[in-house]
């Protein structure tokens, strides 16, 4: 029997997540789509697909007859709105929340890296699109050679950045940098986002740069390839753009890293690209696709490890 879920946020991310659940999930059942704009395309599409809707936000959700049976709530709104939504949802101990905003109320979660540590937490945060794409790589390197510095650059098509993404730019960099440290394992993290205005729009590209202790390069490379394969299980369009590159930073020519001082070691460069599945959004919107795919994968794992065991 499938577990019923609700999505708060009828914009691009929420709508794409809804379609993924309807088309792909064997354990999640779409129950309610929640929005605040009664004329939004997401609510209209939900109605056409037989999903109950409300345009009264989270307060409207709590009044619906479907609410008692819903176990998982996905929040695809904004960092600011999530704080309000969570205040309402946390009053119901039988509900779990998966946060797709950079609010970071709950612990950061990247499915192939730290799901087991957070599967029973009532509110988990999916970091950011850049975080979901790059933190697995930082973690893959860190499990072989201690990462002291991790820097990521996420380049996304400007057309794929809606009002929510643009409003959360500061939270994006802060949340991603913090998760590079707490989830990826780096001593120091830095995140940069680029909104690429190119026409036609380009797919999401991510660059991961780490400075770590010296380690066997073939072992590090294998660890990265294994992690890419894990992510591809739920994001088929996730791939290495070219082979992993290594450079030595010698002890007599160290680099200065703010907050860490002069450091030497092994520099690893990883170039990625993420092509969207095209369920609701264009293929170039891989940044949105990886968020919705990671959220769906997290929801399914929570159901498999928690609700189905009861």
Q: What positions carry a catalytic annotation?
A: 129
DSSP letter, residue 203: P
Q: Is 57 left (phi over 0), alpha (psi -120 to 50) or beta?
A: left
Distances in Å between the alpha carbon of 203 and those of 127, 199, 218, 286, 290? 20, 11, 29, 6, 12
Query: In the chain, what's the furthest Cα-to-Cα distance?
Result: 68
SS3 content of the chain, % helix, strand, coil (to 5): 40, 25, 35
The 3-state DSSP class for residue 197 equals coil
Nearest one of 292, 305, 310, 308 to 119, comparing CA atoms: 305
Query: How do beta strands 52-54 and 28-34 pair?
Result: parallel
State the virtual CA torsion across 257, 166, 300, 106 in degrees, nearest 10.
60
Q: CB–CB of 130/168 below 8 Å?
A: no
DSSP-based three-state secondary structure for 310: coil
How many CB atoms within 10 Å of residue 165? 24
Half-sphere exposure of residue 15: CA atoms within 13 angstroms, side-chain side: 19
Q: Examine residue 293 and say whether the peptide bond preceding it is cis (omega within 30 degrees of 0).
A: no
């Amino acid at each position: 029997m499938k577990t019923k879920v609700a999505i708060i946020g009828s914009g691009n991310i929420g709508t794409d997540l809804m379609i993924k659940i309807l088309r792909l999930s064997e354990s999640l059942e779409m129950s309610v789509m929640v929005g605040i704009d009664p004329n939004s395309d997401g609510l209209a599409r939900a109605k056409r697909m037989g999903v109950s809707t409300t345009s009264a936000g989270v307060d409207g959700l709590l009044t619906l007859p479907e609410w008692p049976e819903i176990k998982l709530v996905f929040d695809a709104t904004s960092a600011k709105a999530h704080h309000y939504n969570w205040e309402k949802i946390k009053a119901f101990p039988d509900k779990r929340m998966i946060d797709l905003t950079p609010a970071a109320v709950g612990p950061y979660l990247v499915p192939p890296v730290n799901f087991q540590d957070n599967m029973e937490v009532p509110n988990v945060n999916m970091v950011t699109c850049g975080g979901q794409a790059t933190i697995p790589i930082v973690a893959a390197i860190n499990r072989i050679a201690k990462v002291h510095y991790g820097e990521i650059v996420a380049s996304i098509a400007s057309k794929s950045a809606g009002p929510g993404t643009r409003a959360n730019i500061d939270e994006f960099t802060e949340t991603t940098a913090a998760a590079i440290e707490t989830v990826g394992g780096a001593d120091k993290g830095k995140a940069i986002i680029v909104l690429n205005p190119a026409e036609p729009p380009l797919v999401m590209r991510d660059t991961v740069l780490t400075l770590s202790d010296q380690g066997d390069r073939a072992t590090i490379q294998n660890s990265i390839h294994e992690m890419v394969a894990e992510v591809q299980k739920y994001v088929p369009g996730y791939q290495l753009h070219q082979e992993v590159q290594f450079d030595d930073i010698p002890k007599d020519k160290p680099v200065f890293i703010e907050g860490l001082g002069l450091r030497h070691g092994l520099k690893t460069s990883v170039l990625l690209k993420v092509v969207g599945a095209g369920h609701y959004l264009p293929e170039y919107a891989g940044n949105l696709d990886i968020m919705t795919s990671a959220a769906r994968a997290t929801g399914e794992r929570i159901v498999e490890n928690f609700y189905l065991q009861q």
